[in-house]
Structure 1
């Protein structure tokens, strides 16, 4: 049974589900920062996913990155799995702009997180509703 790591649960806003991954929004309005978490139990590394799930994760990641680049007018996208603090496998997809709070440095630890307001979260959801396909299911917290 899939359970989201408590730190991810605490630091993010639930957006919805792709066929494999749960889509979260990092609760830091400094950057449109999304996190994909494969809904598989006890997975901390990419190679622990079977080949089918590896392909699906990559398809969901690249599709999300492409739509975020266009929808958020990104200058660059940062896509990575790190997992040094949260071991549950998760993929960061971060929209970067030349005028963002940390540009060109990495976003981690650069500035304190600036939590989204309820209105800002709804604006992000609405922006995503326009571009996400039928294989995505929006969920509420």
Structure 2
């Protein structure tokens, strides 16, 4: 029996679920300063992109492209940042962040930039619904 997919507790604590694409669970970071999605392939034990099959690697990058397009629709930006670091959370995940010149971390990385600012309930609901619509998940 193969192990089942479980979201790393640190990712679960820092995000809210937007929905599932064919490969990835799409998460929204709980920091209103940045429009920031995290894509996590729903496969147990994956740490590196190279751990995915060739077909799933291609699917991952297609889903990253979809996430970027959705972010640009919902939160127009000057630059999209895409990264798969995994130094703290080992579970394979890809960050897709819509950056605006002059944002709270510009021009540096968003990781560790100041204190996270939570969404209000209404802001969070609105952002998640807009992203679901843009990703055709509604």
TM tier, smaller: over 0.9
On the 8 A contact 1:33/1:92 being kept in 2, the answer is yes
1:79-105 Cα deviation digits (max 9, x unpaired): 010000000000000010013111111
1:89 and 1:126 map into 2 onto residues whose CA distance is 25
Question: Please, what TM-score do these two structures have when normalized by structure 1?
Answer: 0.91
**Deviation string, structure 1 residues 84-130 (Cα, Å, up to 9, x no partner):** 00000000000100131111111111111111121111110232243
Structure 1 residue ranges without an equivalent (≥5)? none
Q: State the match for 2:128 in structure 1.
A: 125
TM-score normalised by structure 2 residue count: 0.93
Task: State the structure with bigger RCO (CA 8 A, min sep 6), 1 or 2.
Answer: 1
Cα distance in 1, alignment partners of residues 54 and 17 from structure 2: 27
Alignment coverage as a number of residue pairs: 135
The reply to whether residue 103 of structure 1 matches residue 106 of structure 2 is: yes
Aligned residue among 3, 25, 28 for 1:25: 28
Structure 1 residue 36 and structure 2 residue 36: aligned? no
**Aligned partner (choices 110, 115, 138) of residue 112 of structure 1:** 115
CA distance in 2, matches of 1:83, 1:129: 25
| Paired residues of 1:69 and 1:76 also in contact (CA < 8 A) | no
- Aligned residue for 1:53? 56
Deviations 1:48-77 (A, max 9, x none): 101111111011001111221233111001
Structure 2 unmatched ranges of 5 or more = none
